[in-house]
Structure 1
Amino acid sequence: MQMQKGKVYLVGAGPGDGDLITVKGLEAIKRADVILYDRLINPTLLEHAHAGCEFIYCGKLPHRHFLKQEVINRLLVEKALEGKIVVRLKGGDPSIFGRVGEEALSVSEHGIEFEMVPGITSGIAAPLYAGIPVTHRDYAGSFAIVTAHDKTPNGKPDIDWQGLVNSVQTMAFYMGVKNLYYICENLINHGKSPDTPVILIQWGTWGRQKSVQGTLATIPQLAEQAQITNPAITLVGEVVAIREKISWFEKKALFGRQIMLVRTGTEESKLARELKEKGADVIEFPKWKKEKAAVDKNTIKNIDVYEKILFTSSEAVYDFFAILAENKIDVRSLRGVLYGLSSKTIRALESKGFASFLCTEMKQEGKLLIVGDNQIKEEEPLYTVQYGKCDLFITSKKTADTKFEDIMKRQLEEAQLDTLLFPSSYSVQVFLNEASKFGLESLVDNVKNVVSMGMKTKEMAEMYGIRTHRMPEKPTVESLIHCLASEKELMKI
Structure 2
Amino acid sequence: MTKQGKVYLIGAGPGDPGLLGLKAKECLQTADAVVYDRLADPRILAFARKDAEMVYVGKASANHTMRQPDINKLLVKLAAEGKVVARLKGGDPFVFGRGGEEAIELREAGLPFEFVPGVTSAIAVAEYAGIPVTHRHVATSFAVITGHEDPTKGESTIHWKGLATSVDTLVFLMGVENIEKISRELIANGRSADCPAAVIRWGTHPEQRTLITTLGKAAADVKATGMKPPAIFLVGEVVRLREQLQWFDNKPLFGKTVIVTRARAQASALTKKLEAQGAKVIEAPAIKIVPAADYAPLDNAIANINDYKWLVFTSANGVDYFFERLGAAKKDARALANVTLAAIGSATAKALAEHGLTADLIPSAYKAEELAEALAGEITAGDKILLARAKVAREVLPESLRKIGAIVDVVTAYETVADCENKDELIEALESGEASIVTFTSSSTVTNLLEVLGDKKELLNKAALAAIGPVTADTLKKHGYTPAINAAEYTIDGLMTAITNFYNK
TM-score by length of 2: 0.81
| Deviation at residue 487 of structure 1 after TM alignment | 4.2
The whole-number CA distance in structure 2 between the counterparts of 1:163 and 1:115 is 34
Structure 1 residues 422 and 398: CA distance shift in structure 2, 3 A: closer
Q: Which secondary structure state, in structure 2, belongs to the residue aligned with residue 163 of structure 1?
A: helix
Structure 1 residues 64 and 459: CA distance shift in structure 2, 3 A: farther
The answer (yes or no) to whether the contact 2:12–2:20 under 8 Å persists in 1 is yes
Q: Which secondary structure state, in structure 2, belongs to the residue aligned with residue 165 of structure 1?
A: helix
The answer (yes or no) to whether the contact 2:418–2:452 under 8 Å persists in 1 is no
Residues 143-192 of structure 1: per-residue CA shift (max 9 Å, x gap): 11111123328999663322321322111111222222222122111111
Structure 1 residues 483 and 30: CA distance shift in structure 2, 3 A: same
Residues 278-312 of structure 1: per-residue CA shift (max 9 Å, x gap): 22222333499988778543342134566876646
1:371 partner amino acid: R
| Deviation at residue 70 of structure 1 after TM alignment | 3.8
The whole-number CA distance in structure 2 between the counterparts of 1:452 and 1:259 is 13
Farther-moved stretch of structure 1 (148-157 vs 138-147): 148-157
Farther-moved stretch of structure 1 (309-318 vs 47-56): 309-318
Equivalent residue in structure 1 for 2:443, among 417, 425, 434: 425
Question: Which residue matches 2:263?
Answer: 264
1:474 partner amino acid: E
Question: Which residue matches 2:472?
Answer: 457
2:323 partner amino acid: F
Q: Which secondary structure state, in structure 1, belongs to the residue aligned with residue 222 of structure 2?
A: helix
Structure 1 residues 64 and 414: CA distance shift in structure 2, 3 A: farther
| Deviation at residue 16 of structure 1 after TM alignment | 1.4
Residues 117-150 of structure 1: per-residue CA shift (max 9 Å, x gap): 1101111001111111101231222211111123
Alignment gaps of 5+ in structure 2: 374-380, 400-407
Residues 29-64 of structure 1: per-residue CA shift (max 9 Å, x gap): 222232222221222122333333333322233433
Residues 197-248 of structure 1: per-residue CA shift (max 9 Å, x gap): 0011111112222111111122223333333221111110111112212222
Question: Do residues 300 (structure 1) and 302 (structure 2) align?
Answer: yes
| Deviation at residue 71 of structure 1 after TM alignment | 3.9
Question: Which residue matches 2:321?
Answer: 319
| Deviation at residue 386 of structure 1 after TM alignment | 9.1
Residues 235-282 of structure 1: per-residue CA shift (max 9 Å, x gap): 101111122122222222222222222231525733322222222222
The whole-number CA distance in structure 1 between the counterparts of 2:99 and 2:451 is 42
2:465 partner amino acid: V
Residues 390-446 of structure 1: per-residue CA shift (max 9 Å, x gap): 7543459999697x899999999999432222233333345345567xx98665233
Q: Equivalences for 1:430-449 in 2 at 5 Å?
A: 430-432=448-450, 443-447=459-463, 449=464
The answer (yes or no) to whether the contact 1:37–1:88 under 8 Å persists in 2 is yes
Question: Which residue matches 1:118?
Answer: 117
The answer (yes or no) to whether the contact 1:200–1:235 under 8 Å persists in 2 is yes
1:393 partner amino acid: T
Q: Which secondary structure state, in structure 2, belongs to the residue aligned with residue 269 of structure 1?
A: helix
The answer (yes or no) to whether the contact 1:173–1:233 under 8 Å persists in 2 is yes
Equivalent residue in structure 2 for 1:473, among 483, 488, 491: 488
Question: Which residue matches 1:180?
Answer: 179
Structure 1 residues 13 and 400: CA distance shift in structure 2, 3 A: farther
1:345 partner amino acid: T
The answer (yes or no) to whether the contact 2:261–2:283 under 8 Å persists in 1 is yes
The answer (yes or no) to whether the contact 2:33–2:55 under 8 Å persists in 1 is yes
Question: Do residues 332 (structure 1) and 348 (structure 2) align?
Answer: no
Structure 1 residues 194 and 429: CA distance shift in structure 2, 3 A: same
Structure 1 residues 11 and 478: CA distance shift in structure 2, 3 A: same
Q: Equivalences for 1:335-484 in 2 at 5 Å?
A: 335=339, 338-340=342-344, 343-349=346-352, 352-354=357-359, 355-357=361-363, 358-361=367-370, 363=372, 369-372=387-390, 376=391, 380=392, 391-394=410-413, 416-432=434-450, 443-447=459-463, 449-484=464-499
Question: Which residue matches 2:189?
Answer: 190
| Deviation at residue 459 of structure 1 after TM alignment | 1.9
Structure 1 residues 80 and 400: CA distance shift in structure 2, 3 A: farther
Structure 1 residues 84 and 468: CA distance shift in structure 2, 3 A: farther
Question: Which residue matches 2:402?
Answer: none
1:273 partner amino acid: K
The whole-number CA distance in structure 2 between the counterparts of 1:232 and 1:173 is 9
2:316 partner amino acid: S
Structure 1 residues 363 and 305: CA distance shift in structure 2, 3 A: farther
Structure 1 residues 400 and 75: CA distance shift in structure 2, 3 A: farther
The whole-number CA distance in structure 2 between the counterparts of 1:26 and 1:204 is 21
Question: Which residue matches 2:404?
Answer: none
Structure 1 residues 407 and 444: CA distance shift in structure 2, 3 A: closer
Structure 1 residues 173 and 244: CA distance shift in structure 2, 3 A: same
Q: Give the alignment's Cα RMSD to 1 decimal.
A: 3.9
Residues 315-347 of structure 1: per-residue CA shift (max 9 Å, x gap): 44133224314423444277576454x653343
1:419 partner amino acid: I
The answer (yes or no) to whether the contact 2:289–2:414 under 8 Å persists in 1 is no
Structure 1 residues 480 and 391: CA distance shift in structure 2, 3 A: closer
Question: Which residue matches 2:94?
Answer: 95
The answer (yes or no) to whether the contact 2:322–2:388 under 8 Å persists in 1 is no
1:359 partner amino acid: A
TM-score by length of 1: 0.82
Question: Which residue matches 1:219?
Answer: 218
Structure 1 residues 82 and 312: CA distance shift in structure 2, 3 A: farther
Structure 1 residues 153 and 48: CA distance shift in structure 2, 3 A: closer
Q: Percent identity?
A: 36
The whole-number CA distance in structure 1 between the counterparts of 2:5 and 2:481 is 51
Question: Which residue matches 2:232?
Answer: 233
Structure 1 residues 116 and 205: CA distance shift in structure 2, 3 A: same
Question: Do residues 206 (structure 1) and 205 (structure 2) align?
Answer: yes
The whole-number CA distance in structure 2 between the counterparts of 1:332 and 1:424 is 28
The structure with the larger Rg is 2
The whole-number CA distance in structure 2 between the counterparts of 1:457 and 1:102 is 56
Structure 1 residues 406 and 424: CA distance shift in structure 2, 3 A: closer
| Deviation at residue 20 of structure 1 after TM alignment | 0.9
Structure 1 residues 482 and 290: CA distance shift in structure 2, 3 A: closer
The whole-number CA distance in structure 2 between the counterparts of 1:303 and 1:155 is 81
Structure 1 residues 81 and 222: CA distance shift in structure 2, 3 A: same
